Structure 1
Amino acid sequence: MNILFLGIIAIAAYIIQTCLGLKQIKNFSMVYARLRKKGKVAIGRRPGKLTSGTILMFSVNQMGLIDEAEMMQGITILARFKPKKQFVGLNIRELNEQHPVFEKENRLTRQAALNAKKIYLEVEKGNYQDTKPVSPVMNVGLHLSMLKQSIQTKFSKGSV
């Protein structure tokens, strides 16, 4: 009886998490589409594994000025995009660590904004290629493979 009850709770939690995750993706898509109608969109991200993650989107006009900025920051799937008016009117090319706009911002927001600038400039030059992050499971496998290779190399050098 207890196992059945725990199973029902686990399934209900999974369904709720899925629904809220889909709602968050829909929120991202709506904000992106709205910003895309205005022009180019620079997206900066600062993923969080155990800490808060941050996504910052800038609508950038032809002159490189930020027309609108939206940011999602949080740990849970309840996070939503909120306007960041302090970035409006700034030139994305002029953003740097010492920019006065960052004085009141947290480290995650700074990193996401600088990531957006970096990606925007790389796309503008035609040099940007999106890289897919390696999952933690694949990362462990990669480290084990490298360890095995180094051990084989050491033994092969020692026997020659």
Structure 2
Amino acid sequence: MASWGIFILVFVGMWLLQVYFTLRQSKHYQQHFYEMQQQANGYMGVGVSKRRFGRGAVVMITTDQDGIVTRCKQMSGLTVFARFRERRELVGKPIEVCRIEHPRAADEIALNMAIEKVEEQRRKHLE
């Protein structure tokens, strides 16, 4: 009977660790989202690609009024330890050039989704 007690205690401990790290990652996401949102003018898009198994990805991209990328951050990985990283290779490019033609990887899908969000905002603003 004592072995069941130990098993339950370990299970509860692992579950509490998962909750803690999930909350920590959520706070990390919110901090970066707020930071990217502080741009004085322009547009922001967020793309998310979740998979049941395998790597997931989140991409945040901001552009100026003309559609030139001012910042781009990407978080991808398998675990709650994934963190945002800058994608400097996209900064300074027109948003149309950044689109991936045939996305396969989670980060490519998320990037295209973020670009679509920015383009949608730009269209609404021009109407």
TM-score between the two structures when normalised by the length of structure 1: 0.69
The corresponding residue for 1:158 is none
Matched residues, number: 120
Residue 63 (str. 1) matches residue 61 (str. 2): no
Task: Provide the secondary structure at the position in 1 that maps to 2:62.
Answer: strand
Q: Counterparts of 1:58 and 1:97 in 2: how far apart (Å)? A: 14
TM-score between the two structures when normalised by the length of structure 2: 0.85
Larger helix share, 1 or 2: 1
The corresponding residue for 1:4 is 5
Task: Provide the secondary structure at the position in 1 that maps to 2:48.
Answer: strand
Tell me if structure 1 keeps the 8 A contact 2:45–2:116.
Answer: no
The corresponding residue for 1:122 is 120
Letter in 2 for 1:97: I
Task: Provide the secondary structure at the position in 2 that maps to 1:55.
Answer: strand
Runs of 4+ off more than 6 Å: none
Q: Counterparts of 1:108 and 1:63 in 2: how far apart (Å)? A: 27
The corresponding residue for 1:28 is 29
Percent identity over paired residues = 17
The corresponding residue for 2:78 is 75
Residue 18 (str. 1) matches residue 19 (str. 2): yes
Q: Please, which runs of 5 or more residues in structure 2 have no aligned partner?
A: none
1:113 to 102, 105, 111: 111
Q: Which has the larger Rg? A: 1
Task: Provide the secondary structure at the position in 1 that maps to 2:38.
Answer: helix
Q: Counterparts of 2:30 and 2:58 in 1: how far apart (Å)? A: 13
Deviations 1:69-124 (A, max 9, x none): 111101111111111111111111333335xxx9xxx7222211111112222233
Q: Counterparts of 2:120 and 2:44 in 1: how far apart (Å)? A: 13
Q: Please, which runs of 5 or more residues in structure 1 have no aligned partner?
A: 127-160
Q: What is the Cα-based RMSD across aligned positions, in Å?
A: 1.8
